[in-house]
Structure 1
Amino acid sequence: MGTLLLKGLRKEYGTAVAVQQVDIDVGQGELVSLLGPSGCGKTTTLRMVAGFIEPTQGVVVIGGRDVTGAPPYARETGMVFQSYALFPHMSVAGNVGFGLEMRKVGRAERDARIAEALDLVRLRHLADRLPRQLSGGQQQRVALARALVVNPAVLLLDEPLSNLDAKLRAEVRDEIRALQQRLGLTTLMVTHDQEEALTMSDRLVVMEGGRVRQIGTAEDLYENPADTFVADFVGRCNLIPGTVEGGALRSRSGDLLPCDVRGATGDATVFALRPERIALQPGAGGSGVPAKLSNILYLGAQTEYRLELGGTTLTAIRPTPSRADPLHQLKPGDTVSVSWDPVAGRLLPV
């Protein structure tokens, strides 16, 4: 069965450390995403799993077998590259069957497996075309078929949707996820796109500076981030440094903000509050905190409000109000009443 275990994985380039002490356990049929900014070590980690980069330390175990020193073709992995890496002079069928040919699979079996793989991605009718005769989405699906045709124990995806436009990206994203679930493929994916990771993954691994910052489901990371980096990287978040005072947070600018302190004392902390958890009412009345609107950004289905609470700056995101809603009449410079449930935010270490 296809499982993947990375234990103590580390990669050094001279004195520079690209990946340090990565421990990840991917279960059978699970899709786990490595998520993080450019240069965080996620692609280096994926390439160590594939066998294209030799780790400085640590082990890679696939299906219970230590493959750390094995060449790429002996690892039972299939990889979809960011650039697709299709051979321009080969037909679709030739590209898909290349890995089988390198493995000395007989012609009859090779043809049958190519047809089966192309059926999976709905491209059998384009088997004789060259890559340049295909759209970007079709090329991506050919690359996926090439990875699937070798019956991999683990599927590796390196930014598989980054070269597609936004609409096509959403369509292909859903196709890949549905196919991965239907086939029960153990999958490790690299992405820097939050929406892509949140919608496709069973679990996410947030990386920064070569380290793993947190592992969990999308809900875990969004609702209970381990630190300010995760809170800020996974979704939008207001991060307000301050100290606990009584049952509230005293911000550095001196504002007293409601929050659930949960036994915290006066030590320095950061209050993390998601923008969609903030409610607005026109005017300074009500039970909320008065704030001044510094800007309003229309985002279609949602509207973003930039707020000044004394010396504290906040961003609120609300469903775009209808014309009959009093919020529709707001403009920069207006005063509003701002409120949130004290348990909606989290106190995080500095």
Structure 2
Amino acid sequence: MGNLVLDGLGKRFGASVAVERVDLDVPQGQMVALLGPSGCGKTTTLRMVAGFVPPSEGRVLIAGKDVTRAPPHGRDTGMVFQSYALFPHMTVAQNVAFGLEMRRVNRADRESRTREALRMVRLEGLEDRLPRQLSGGQQQRVALARALVVNPAVFLLDEPLSNLDAKLRGEVRMEIRALQQRLGLTTLIVTHDQEEALTMADRLVVMERGRVRQVGTAEDLYERPADPFVAGFVGRCNLVEGALDSPGAFRAASGALLACAGGPPPPGRPVLALRPEHVRITPAEGGPARLRAVTYLGAQTEYHAELGGTPLVAVLPTPGADSPLRRLSPGDAVALSWEPSAARLLPAARHDEKGA
């Protein structure tokens, strides 16, 4: 077991920058998620850690050892691939034992460790089945067992839940997290699913266009995003362009005046960030805002409104049958309000980053 350090790790494909100087320290036993949209560089970063992609610059250190130039089998890592990558002609037990066989572990130890790995992922009794005879969730568990059986110093997960249906994804997500914590595995996981990252990881690394935008806990990134990209990617957020009109008052580009937190504004033209759950909505005949859509989501209801030409979304617990909110419909006039401290001013993206 050990920590994982990425020291200025970068990758270029010709003139194209896939990953730009990532610095990251994953302490022993912690799970860190690389989070971002498709093409942001997160999978390339993971594959550099695994040894499948050679970096153009920087270093990878595992338990203090520089493994930047070491082959994948010489890095003491266990990896679960997005496609599971199980051998179709091998049984469950043979798939799990494959890594041990490649490491020339003797047969008795190989069989003992394979049984233990299958027990950890609750697949006892399925040793002789082929992958095609398993459900998607069971195949995922085989892939997990195969990565765990080699006792890796670092556990690597590449979109491990993307091929599962929604219900099974939630179940397996909690199983992976519980297993990782119980075994104290230093883990790096790649995902584009914000809920997956928020519920599984100790810290998140938000990436865009090969660059790290922000590193922090789920609470850090949700409550204190560094910029509009992070605010919009981690959870939902109303993002409004404009300028500070006066302390505590933000003038949207549409002309609407919106309450915001006091304090010094960020440099340049700021963007107001306001989470939908912080917006209160009140029926008000002749009110300044007008509803554009009302969407029932079960436990919550989503209200799309327009205030002085500025669209805003509010998400509230679904009101009871007797609440006046229950009778709202598109076209109705309403009043919108929020605590000024809930509306944060963030620095707009720099011009040199927009086309990066």
Shift in alpha-carbon separation, 1:266–1:149, aligned structure 2, 3 A = closer
Partners of 1:90 and 1:263 in 2: CA distance? 63
Pairing partner for 1:304 from 279, 302, 305:
302
Determine if contact 2:259/2:343 at 8 Å carries over to the other structure. no
In the other structure, the counterpart of 2:344 is: 346
Q: 1:8 to 1:280 in 2, by over 3 A?
A: same
Partner of 2:353: none
1:78-107 per-position Cα deviation (integer Å, ceiling 9, x unaligned): 000000000000000000000000000000
Secondary structure of the 2:55 match is coil
Q: Which runs of 5+ in 2 are unaligned?
A: 349-356
Q: Could you tell me whether the CA contact under 8 Å between 1:6 and 1:60 is conserved in 2?
A: yes
- The share of aligned pairs that are identical, in percent, is 69
Q: Match for residue 27 of structure 2?
A: 27
Structure 2: distance between partners of 1:266 and 1:241: 14
* Aligned residue in 1 for 2:222: 222
Q: Residues 247-326 of structure 1: matches in 2 within 5 Å?
A: 247=247, 248-264=249-265, 268-284=269-285, 290-326=288-324
Task: Note the aligned Cα RMSD (angstroms).
Answer: 1.2
Contiguous gaps of at least 5 residues in structure 1:
none
Q: Are 2:142 and 1:142 equivalent residues in the alignment?
A: yes
Contact 1:303/1:319 (<8 A) preserved:
yes
**Aligned partners of 2:50 and 2:130: how far apart in 1?**
27
Task: Tell me the residue number matched to 1:194.
Answer: 194
* Distance in 2 separating the partners of 1:97 and 1:277: 51
How high is the TM-score relative to the length of structure 1?
A: 0.97
Which residue matches 1:328?
A: 326
1:186-231 Cα shifts (integer Å, max 9, x gaps): 0000000010000000000000000100000000000000001001
The C-alpha deviation readout for 1:36-83, integer Å capped at 9, x for no partner, is 000000000000000001001000000010000101111010000000
Question: Tell me, what secondary structure is at the counterpart of 1:174?
Answer: helix
Q: Is the 8 A contact 1:244 1:265 kept in 2?
A: no
- The aligned runs of 1:1-350 (5 Å cut-off) are 1-247=1-247, 248-264=249-265, 268-284=269-285, 290-350=288-348
Summarize the Cα distance change of 1:330–1:136 in structure 2 as closer, same or farther, 3 Å threshold. same
Alignment size in residue pairs: 347
Displacement, 1:267? Answer: 5.2
Q: Is the 8 A contact 2:268 2:347 kept in 1?
A: no
Q: Distance in 1 between matches of 2:266 and 2:234?
A: 27
In 2, distance between residues paired with 1:177 and 1:284?
50
Shift of 1:265: 8.2
Secondary structure of the corresponding residue to residue 117 of structure 1: helix
Matched residue of 1:124: which SS?
A: coil
Inter-CA distance 244–267: structure 2 relative to 1 (3 Å threshold): farther
**Distance across 1 between alignment mates of 2:50 and 2:264:** 46
> Are the equivalent residues in 2 in contact too, given 1:158–1:190 (CA < 8 A)?
yes
Separation in 2 of the partners of 1:346 and 1:152? 42
